[in-house]
Chain A
Amino acid sequence: MALLTPSIGLIFWTTVSFLILLFLLRKMAWKPILTSVKEREHRITDAVMQAEKARAEMAALSANNERLLNEAREERAIIIKEAKAVGDKLIADAKEKAGVEFNKKVADASREIENQKMAALTEVKNYAGQMALDIAEKVLKKEFSDRNKQERYASELVDDLKLN
């Protein structure tokens, strides 16, 4: 059948034409098109990867910021706490020192008072003794003005001695 009989001329021209077409399209179309497509795909992949990386970096950065902030907060709290402690200690120390000083002053004062009191008492004692001696001298002088009395007394003393 004529339809199934290949013709040499058409085979020849189809072959030549198709090979030329293949060559032309390869050079003028497929190569630039496929290169562009491939480059674009690479670029898109790269961009996506970079965006991912940037996002991760941003997350890391904000986490870091958060951490720094927290640290700063903690530090502040510590500093405040320490300052308070120092202040408290200062006050306490001052109080204690003042107390010690006060006690010392009080002790000194009472010791002085005691000393003064003792001195005054000694003086009073001495004076009273002197007065007693004077009175006794005067009494004795009056008592033993006569001779009898002196002898009686002496014998009494001797008696006492004997008894002992």
Chain B
Amino acid sequence: MENSFFHTRKVTIFAAELRKRTSGFVMNNQNFSVFTLLLAVFSLVNINTAKAGGSSDGPFDAKEMIMHHIQDSHDWHVAGDLSIPLPVILYSKEAGFDFFMSSEFHHDDNAEVLAKGTYLKQHGHIYLADEKGELEFDEAGHATNVAPLDFSITRNVASIFITIIILVALFSAVARSYDSNGVARGIGSFLEPLVIFVRDEIAIPNIGEKKYAKFLPYLLTVFFFIWVANLLGLVPFFPGGSNVTGNISVTFVLAIITYLITTVSGNKDYWMHIFWMPGVPVAIRPILAVIELIGTLTKPFALMMRLFANIAAGHILVLALIALIFMFKTYFMSAVSIPFVVFMSMLELLVAALQAYIFTLLSALFIGMAVAEHDHGHEHGHEAHH
């Protein structure tokens, strides 16, 4: 009974993915309405398949489906019953290191596997089984068992690896595309303007002609990493479809790196402006110092939240529109949903580039503030002049 429920869900998810994928094609096509019509017919087939998969299923849970999609998972669901097993790497004091493939959970969110300890999986989280080999729950229904440190190569980690492979392949090809005159050919002529854009429109204006070169590799990397990861997230089927940049852990790491670079490269002026703001009454300076110190943390926090929220929201919106079809249980709904999904996907294409740009721009701005040379007009200057 439980098995069939999960199977059904997988099929519906597949249908959703299929629709997302087809909507991706429409974006390139001028003949909008014809394709919408075709898609409406197409979705009919899928709903029937979903129904055939298990007519005795419970009510369609849109929230569950959406959350499943935008959260990380231990295996990579491709289509139907096909899932790619990914390595699960666990560490706990009780059981030490453990390594096995996620297929041992039978691609099930609530399953158990026997390794050194007995691992139980609930809602995508892995727990150690207690002495009775079971999970224990508190009143709120959360498992209270010991959770091992989970260093698994999850879907998001695998997506990051794919992003890295794409980026390295793409940009080493660009580096090789230069002829003897230093003119980029082929792919280089397409991507070089973007590199120059980051240099001339983001790095130099915010950091300054003298100091930008040191930070440019980071800015370029973070820009293209976020952009390509965003775009991969928009591709509804393997190897895309995971929600890398809409995951708080990923944006946390990126924001932390910007924060560390800012903090490490901050010069005397920068710290002076934080702890002992020149040009304001001395009594106010300690208060300002507290505010400024909090400000250094809110800046990367805003970076983290902005990217996460924008990308996650985009995914949720697209999935919610798809879910409408299943909630209304009529394929006529796709005539409404699909145009909206197409519209949203186009918007998300813009957002993908925009968020990469904003993250990079703000990183450059913060770095620029940290390394800026102030001509001390306010304090020393005044005393010298009088």
Interface residues in chain A, defined as those with a beta carbon under 8 Å from any beta carbon in chain B: 2-15, 17-18, 20-22, 24-26, 28-34, 36-37, 39-40, 43
Contact = CB atoms under 8 A, between A and B. Distances in A.
Interface string B247-272: 11110111001000000000000000
B249 A24 contact: no
B151 A29 contact: no
Contacts of B156: 10
B67 A18 contact: no
Contacts of B161: 17
Interface of B: 67, 70-72, 89, 123, 149-154, 156-157, 160-161, 164, 167-168, 171-172, 174-175, 178, 181-184, 188, 192, 195-196, 199, 216-218, 220-221, 224-225, 247-250, 252-254, 257, 312
A7 B248 CA distance: 9
A21 B72 contact: no
A146 to B, nearest CB: 156
A11 B216 contact: no
Given A9-B150, A24-B168, A18 B178 contact: no
9 contacts: A9-B89, A10-B249, A11-B249, A18-B221, A20-B164, A22-B218, A25-B168, A29-B175, A43-B181
B168 A40 contact: no
Contacts, number: 122
B71 A3 contact: yes
B172 A29 contact: yes
A5 to B, nearest CB: 7
Contacts of A13: 151, 153, 157, 160
A6 B71 contact: no
A21 B69 CA distance: 26
Given A3-B71, A33-B175, A28 B157 contact: no
Contact of B252 (A6, A17, A25): A6
A30 B182 CA distance: 14
B192 A32 contact: no
Nearest to A13: B157
A8 B168 CA distance: 26
Contacts of B72: 7, 10
Nearest to A41: B182
Contacts of A43: 181-182
B249 A30 contact: no
B110 to A, nearest CB: 15
B323 to A, nearest CB: 17
B196 A9 contact: no
Given A3-B70, A11-B253, A30-B216, A17 B151 contact: no
Given A14-B250, A28-B168, A32-B178, 16 more contacts: A3-B248, A6-B249, A9-B150, A9-B154, A10-B157, A12-B151, A13-B151, A14-B249, A18-B225, A18-B254, A21-B221, A25-B220, A30-B171, A31-B217, A37-B192, A37-B195
Contact of B149 (A8, A14, A15, A39): A8
Contacts of B220: 25, 30
B169 to A, nearest CB: 10
A92 B264 CA distance: 102
Contacts of A10: 72, 154, 156-157, 247, 249-250
Nearest to A2: B71
A68 to B, nearest CB: 39
Contacts of B152: 9
9 tightest A-B contacts by CB?
Answer: A29-B171, A40-B182, A10-B249, A32-B175, A14-B253, A6-B249, A13-B157, A26-B217, A28-B172
Contact of B217 (A3, A8, A11, A22): A22
B236 to A, nearest CB: 20
B250 A29 contact: no
Contacts of B192: 33, 37
Nearest to B316: A3
A15 B178 CA distance: 31
Interface centre among B70, B168, B172, B175 (most CB of A within 10 A): B175
A15 B253 contact: yes
Nearest to B195: A33
A34 B199 contact: yes
A25 B217 contact: yes
A32 B216 CA distance: 13
Contact of A25 (B151, B167, B178, B199): B167
Contacts of B252: 6, 11
A37 B197 CA distance: 12
A36 B156 CA distance: 34
B253 A28 contact: no
B71 A33 contact: no
Nearest to A4: B248
A17 B184 contact: no
Contacts of B181: 40, 43
Contacts of A11: 249, 252-253
B255 to A, nearest CB: 11
Contacts of A21: 164, 167-168, 221, 225
